[in-house]
Amino acid sequence: MSEPLAPQASAFAFVDSGSAWRAVLDRADHLRDDSAALTALWPQARVIVLDASGQAYADDEGGLRAPSGQELSEGPGGVGAAVFLGLDGEGGAWFAIEAELVAWQAPRRVDLRSAAAHWPLLHASVFAQARALQHWRSRHRFCGACGGEVAFARAGWLGRCGLCGSEHYPRTDPAVIVAVGDGERLLLGRQAGWPPRRYSVIAGFVEPGESLEQTVAREVLEETGVRVRGCRYLGSQPWPFPGALMLGFSALAEPDPPQVGDELEEARWFTREEIRAAAARGERDRDDGVGPLLSPSISISRWLIDQWLAEAEAHARG
């Protein structure tokens, strides 16, 4: 699967196993059925506007342009057509709405990947949440059980079939992403469509009836032919492209020669010196055309690589 964006920088809240990070928004589930409360919040609320392709309305500099609910009152949409996202730290409400439902424009539109790298945490996280919900709603307009039309309730968080009454909720698909080492080297792979010399850690989706640890072993073996001896959970990150949760692991594996199949173009072991040089190259933002290029610094894949390097350096120092 494609490598995700995210940890420390902005868009997606990152949680490691040794910390308890608070969400940027209080999802305020208790308000989703309270239409009177949502209506009262709407005029002063911030509303992120998404076009049909999932891009957000932005200002001239590419920052978030989120009007108030009152500013959107001229369009056909309103609180009843919007999705309630939650409350910020000051108690202000945030909603999301489709651009086609509002008579309001903005100078620019920005995609989520760009926002993840440049927007403040609150704005980028709100965008990520809104985009994931937009994707789910657009693909669940009809019931998977009977084909009936689905109407959305609970401020956009519940789909209910008008024929059979089945209820549908937003989906999150679990996936593992793992930094695999053999005690001395780090295993990285690359897909054919990536930029030249770009490498990342191994990732894949959890299959039915499988534990996370089993997924780690299976995915690494399937994609690289390397046998995993054990693994350890490190942290997680939401990945709204379209709706996955990345579960980060480190793993110890046998020093098997990598053998790729259909998913990867290449997989190989890298020494600690090679990874250190690649990390420094990225920090200088200078491509010397020689060594591997690692994942962007805003990605959980890069965070896992940095974690592996830090542990390897500490072990080398004794």
Model's pTM, two decimal places?
A: 0.85
Residues whose CB is less than 8 angstroms from the CB of residue 53 and which lie 6 or more positions away in sequence, other chains included: none
pLDDT of residue 14: 52
Instruction: Tell me the two tokens of residue 210.
Output: 């499988």
The yes-or-no verdict on residue 161 having pLDDT over 60 is yes
pLDDT bucket at 265, cuts 50 / 70 / 90: very high
pLDDT of residue 288: 63
pLDDT bucket at 238, cuts 50 / 70 / 90: confident
Judging by DSSP bridges, how do beta strands 228-239 and 15-16 pair with one another? antiparallel
Q: What is the mean pLDDT of residues 154-169?
A: 97
Residues whose CB is less than 8 angstroms from the CB of residue 100 and which lie 6 or more positions away in sequence, other chains included: 51, 52
CB-based contact 131:83 (threshold 8 Å): no
Cα 99 to Cα 224: distance, rounded to the nearest angstrom: 44
pLDDT digits (tens, 9 = 90+) for 21-64: 456 899 999 999 999 999 999 999 999 999 999 999 999 999 99
3-state helix, strand, coil in the chain (%, to 5): 30, 30, 45
What's the sign of the alpha-carbon dihedral 29, 118, 132, 175? negative
Considering the chain, what is the average pLDDT of its residues?
Answer: 89
The yes-or-no verdict on residue 248 having pLDDT over 50 is yes
Worst-scoring range by mean pLDDT, 13-17, 22-26, 77-81, 273-277? 13-17
pLDDT of residue 24: 81
Worst-scoring range by mean pLDDT, 31-35, 54-58, 211-215, 291-295? 291-295
Q: What is the mean pLDDT of residues 107-120?
A: 92
Q: What is the mean pLDDT of residues 225-252?
A: 93
Cα 135 to Cα 193: distance, rounded to the nearest angstrom: 24
Higher model confidence: residue 114 or residue 14?
Answer: 114
Picking from 18, 25, 12, 22, the residue whose alpha carbon sits closest to that of residue 237 is: 12
